[in-house]
Amino acid sequence: MMDAMTLLAALLEGGLDDPEAIRVGDTTMTGPELLGAAAVVADQITERPSEGPVAVLAEPTARTVVAMVGALLAGVPVVPVPPDVGAGERAHVLADSGASLWIGERPPEISLPVRKVDVRQRSGDPARETPHDGPALVLYTSGTTGAPKGVLLSKAAMGAGLDGLADAWDWTADDTLAHGLPLFHVHGLVLGVFGALRIGSKLVHVGRPKPAHYAAAVRDHGASLLFGVPTIWSRVAADPDAAAALRPARLLVSGSAPLPVSVFEQLRERTGQAPVERYGMSETMITVSVRADGERRPGWVGVPVAGFETRLASTDEETEGELLRHDGETIGELQVRGPGLFDGYLGRPEATAETWTADGWFRTGDAAVIDEGGYHRIVGRRSVDLIKTGGYRVGAGEIETALLEHAGISEVAVVGEPDDDLGQRIVAHVVLAGDPVDPDEVIAFVADRLSAHKRPREVRVVDALPRNAMGKVQKARL
């Protein structure tokens, strides 16, 4: 087991010295070249005029990878900012995090000091990780209500989670990892970048996650380990040529949302292997996964990875908190514990406390079943207000708040509905304030204020929202 406090172990030990060890789009770097460029960024961060985290514009580029590594070297928490985020959400993230420096191209409204990254620059000083046992990453994630919360992840938590996955997937320096995931979430950034730099496997980020790009990663760069969300895998499965090109790969990993059974079966048929499914959250890293040598059942996400434990608890009023049997049928709230859990929500002690049981287990809010052999199946959210679309977790309350800023809308309820491509599509039910509205204009209205993936895919005008006697909207009826 590697030292969890040195997150980028293989990179710092001189690994990844192949000329194409790190490929992001059209840019290739060796590990030493990445370290040299990141050390320049680390120097810029330590010289910033005030304390506080640094915000990185998390585009899928080599500049982003250099900036993230530079922040880790400097021992300063880094806030990945989605490149498609709306101005309002970006302002919230920067204010809530207390960011003191912006790294990347400057959006018009940014008033922070700005530094740009030149991947060709090199520092003459040897690069090393500054000792730091506090939060290293502040990931903003949507809850069921309100604005996104900052999830605090330490290097120790990320290292422990990655080591568990290395064990589960037989992930070694002999692998080449390829994916086209965003670099502002656990899946794409922690697993998809820091994982490779910790374990020493080559990394290919394909840019846009098109089936042809995944096929090229295997064909041209020998990718053996592929990461994707169900939306990506559904598109690969629908492209027989691209799917067939993935046959030489060792492992196809799907996560961030449930994989439809039909897509699972198509991948099995067209690539020659069933995908590996796994489960986790920003707050927990990946706690459960099918092992590389384990049984692959559609709809089941495997067993706890090394170092983690899980259990099911009742959420019924009469028996709340009572532990439930693992029989493959009984549904309860999935609770987890282990070394890969977050340090809390930034500046929100009450919200943090609400997620933990009195005996130290994290309450995921997901409903699940566990069978006698320890295999897990995620049934869904306890709440209908957390939508998983295209691999993203999106809070309905945040979208509803944005929609209510529209002058033509008086009431709104946002739900997720099944979608073969996205997993769930976001549907907004709106009550008009007066004159008719253009649904496309309403969708664009939300996209201007929030991230593009949070926009409704459909707007339905209704005369009234169904409510109970207490006035609460009954979303199940929608």
- For 128-154, the pLDDT digits (tens) are 777 667 899 999 986 555 678 999 999
Question: What type of residue sits at position 265?
Answer: E
What is the pLDDT confidence band of residue 398, given thresholds at 50, 70 and 90?
A: confident
- For 333-355, the pLDDT digits (tens) are 999 999 999 999 999 999 999 99
**Are 286 and 273 spatial neighbours (Cβ–Cβ below 8 Å)?**
no
**Are 136 and 72 spatial neighbours (Cβ–Cβ below 8 Å)?**
yes
Residue whose pair of structure tokens reads 């460029």 in the numeric block: 37
Question: Rounded to the nearest 10 degrees, how much is the dihedral formed by the CA atoms of 207, 211, 213, 215?
Answer: 150
- Distance, CA of 402 to CA of 452 (rounded, Å): 13
Which residues fall within 8 angstroms of residue 350, CB to CB, at 6 or more apart?
none
In a domain, 318, yes or no: no
In a domain, 350, yes or no: no
Asked if pLDDT for residue 176 goes beyond 90, the answer is yes
pLDDT of residue 380: 67
Tokens of 129: 């990780």
In a domain, 416, yes or no: yes
| Count of beta carbons in the 10 Å neighbourhood of residue 473 | 19
**Are 182 and 188 spatial neighbours (Cβ–Cβ below 8 Å)?**
yes
What's the CATH number where 431 sits?
Answer: 3.30.300.30
- For 55-100, the pLDDT digits (tens) are 999 999 999 999 999 999 999 999 999 998 888 889 999 999 999 9
- Distance, CA of 386 to CA of 169 (rounded, Å): 29
**Pairing between strand 332-337 and 309-313?**
antiparallel
In a domain, 366, yes or no: no
**Closest C-alpha to 283, from 359, 336, 349, 358:** 336
Structural domain boundaries, residue 402: 386-477
Domain count, the chain: 1
In a domain, 392, yes or no: yes
In a domain, 62, yes or no: no
- For 147-170, the pLDDT digits (tens) are 789 999 999 999 999 999 999 999
- Distance, CA of 14 to CA of 358 (rounded, Å): 44
In a domain, 445, yes or no: yes
In a domain, 425, yes or no: yes
- Distance, CA of 149 to CA of 226 (rounded, Å): 29
**3-state SS, residue 456:** coil
Tokens of 294: 């384990």
- Distance, CA of 195 to CA of 84 (rounded, Å): 24
- For 291-317, the pLDDT digits (tens) are 999 999 988 999 999 999 999 998 877
